[in-house]
Amino acid sequence: MERSTSSTMNQLTRSLTVNVKILTDYLTSAGHPLPSFAPDTPTFTLPGNASSEAHLARYRILDLARNLFHLAAGPSEYLTFLQTSYQDIGCLRWLCHFGIFRLVPLQGAISYTDLASQANVSEVKLKSIVRMAITNGLFIEEPPNHVAHSARSALLQMNPYFHDWAAFAMDAGAFSAFSMVDADKKWSGSVDVSQTAFNFALKTDLPFFKYMGEEPERNRQFAGYMRAVTSGQEVSLNHLVKGWDWNRLGKALVIDEGQMGGSTGHASIALARQYPELTFIVEDLPEVIAQGPEYVSSQEDSRSLKRRVSYKAHSFFDPQPVQDADVYLFRTVMHNWSDDDSVRILMHLVQILKPRARILIMDVVLPDPGTLPASKERLLRMRDLSMLQIFNHPERSLQHWKTIFSRVDRRLQVTRVEQPAGSVLSIIELGLEEPMEISGSLGEEII
């Protein structure tokens, strides 16, 4: 057994060395800094335009390092190290709540005594919590009995949106995850959006978005969290801009279907800048659409954008008023809605879709187990569980998506599926035609 484990560890180490070289060679050739623990290290390991080979090497490194850790720890240490995970969560929530990230200076260090005084907390408790956080890469203790920023903690100090992400995830997300058992005991088998783990954890009978509307501070945190998440490379707008053949449309009209309260045209603006022959209408609720022109005016190229990006108040649960568009785009929208609601939304489009027009859905497509790098699959499974905990419905596999489309109209066919390199989202292309084999790729080499 020891010989087999040693052989496995040696194989993993050799593979790790190969992939580290691929990643570092790419970073060096691209003029991008190598990964570092220094506070001024770049937020993202890879630049936004990194090659698919570099992305795949990075995911393989994550998988290989994790597997080596598990082999070295052995089965007996599984629960031991699992306990550190919930302590990490508890420490991060405490550090956010008492403003520790903002009180530690970006340059230099602060003594535990002064930090405890400024935060109005126990120095004994502060020291224990910070020293636990240090083992997870948050802060460093240098010089002794003084706290300074690491790369991870500095990001939470410098970027308020990442701090909002941490605070919201610890206050709402973690509690929702821990409340799955309680919710299932109380509302066994329910798919009601008001009977979720989130509802149990936050002690509310309101659906998620209504609850947010009545909790200004929580809603502010959530807005910051979403800004931080959408700034990440795995959900970057660049994947939409580069991940589908927009050039084939020529002169065309695109309807950018909003999130029922969250779209001021970010996707349309990104596409308009890259494809000058396209024009866009952004649709969302009236109060959101009212902010659109001001947002466009704030852009440096506002004169060009204003000619091709306009706004229209519309709920996608009502009949679609624009019936001559070439593309109807839903980016990270459908996963917030149940299967029944998604069917209702799409039925309005099928009724008016002109020949050769397309519906594009950019959203999570859950993979078959083991077909993606494990570190990437874990992110998708995490999203799947989060959706269950908040909305009582999961993320969807391709077959699940196709079941929804078949309920809308048997002619509504998936004509292509693409998962751009480095993206956790896939682009599903739909058209009205007879059933056919889909093209594109969604499998183990897509990252």
Helix (H) or strand (E) holding 60: helix 52-73
Q: Quick one: pLDDT at residue 435?
A: 53
Q: Point out the least confidently predicted range of 7-21, 145-159, 222-236, 296-310.
A: 222-236
Question: Helices (DSSP H) in 188-246: which residue ranges?
Answer: 197-202, 208-213, 216-231, 237-243
Is residue 264 within 8 A of residue 288, CB to CB? The reply is yes
Question: Where does the pLDDT of residue 259 fall: very low under 50, low under 70, confident under 90, or very high at 90 and above?
Answer: low
Which pLDDT value is given to residue 119? Answer: 98
| DSSP letter string, 287-308 | HHHTTHHHHHHTSTTHHHHHHH
| CA atoms of 262 and 331, how far apart (whole Å) | 11
pTM of the predicted protein model: 0.83
pLDDT at 106: 94
Residues involved in catalysis: 335
- Contact present, 282 and 253 (Cβ < 8 Å): no
pLDDT band with cut points at 50, 70 and 90 for residue 219: confident
**pLDDT (average), residues 45-72:** 91
Confidence at residue 263, expressed as pLDDT on a 0 to 100 scale? 64
Residues 67/12, Cβ–Cβ less than 8 Å = yes
Are 191 and 393 contacting, i.e. CB atoms less than 8 angstroms apart?
yes
Tokens 């489309």 — which residue? 405
Task: Dump pLDDT digits (tens) for 403-428.
Answer: 999 999 999 999 999 988 778 899 99
Contact criterion met (CB below 8 Å) for 19 and 61: yes
Name every residue whose Cβ is closer than 8 Å to that of residue 49 and which is 6 or more positions away in sequence: 238
The edge-to-edge listing of strands for the beta sheet with 146-148 is: 110-111, 146-148, 140-141
Q: Is the pLDDT of residue 266 over 90?
A: no
pLDDT number for residue 1: 38
Compute the distance between CA of residue 372 and CA of residue 54 in angstroms, rounded to an integer: 15
DSSP secondary structure code for residue 34 in this structure:
P
Please check whether residue 281 is in contact with residue 253, taking contact to mean a CB–CB distance below 8 angstroms: yes
pLDDT the model gives residue 261: 47
- Looking at the predicted structure, is the pLDDT value of residue 252 above 50? yes
Structure tokens at 87: 């302590």
Q: Which of 221-230, 327-336, 434-443 has the lowest mean pLDDT?
A: 434-443
Looking at residue 99, its pLDDT comes to 97
Contact 83, 52 (CB under 8 A): no
pLDDT over 60 at 436, yes or no = no
Q: How confident is the model at residue 294 (pLDDT cuts 50, 70, 90)?
A: confident
Least confident residue range of 36-40, 102-106, 262-266? 262-266
Arithmetic mean of pLDDT, 430-440: 66
Does residue 296 have a pLDDT over 50? yes
The predicted model gives 54-81 an average pLDDT of 94
- Predicted confidence band at 86 (pLDDT cuts at 50, 70, 90)? very high
Q: What percent of the chain has a predicted confidence (pLDDT) above 90?
A: 71
Confidence label for 224 from pLDDT (cuts 50, 70 and 90): confident
Check pLDDT > 80 for residue 7.
no
Structure confidence at residue 434 (pLDDT): 61
Question: Is the preceding peptide bond at 367 cis, omega within 30 degrees of 0?
Answer: no
* Other beta carbons within 10 Å of 263: 24
- Mean of the pLDDT values across residues 282-308? 86
What's the mean pLDDT in 51-70? 93
- Measured distance CA(170)–CA(382) in Å, rounded: 15
CA angle (320 as vertex; 283, 295 as ends), nearest 5? 10
Confidence class of residue 6 from pLDDT cuts 50, 70 and 90? low
The burial of 85, by beta-carbon neighbours within 10 Å (0-12 exposed, 13-18 middle, 19 or more buried), is given as: exposed
What integer pLDDT is reported at residue 260 of this predicted model? 55
Spatial distance between the Cα atoms of 304 and 341, rounded to a whole number of angstroms: 36
Burial 194-227 (b: 16+ CB within 10 A, else e): bbbbbbbbbebebbbbebbeebeebeebbebbbe
Mind listing the pLDDT tens digit for each residue in 145-190? 999 999 999 999 999 999 999 999 999 999 999 999 999 999 999 9
The string of pLDDT tens digits covering residues 304-357 is 899 999 999 999 999 999 999 999 999 988 988 889 999 999 999 999 999 999
Q: How far apart are CA 344 and CA 430, in angstroms?
A: 16
> Residue 442: what pLDDT?
47
Q: Residue 288's pLDDT is what?
A: 79
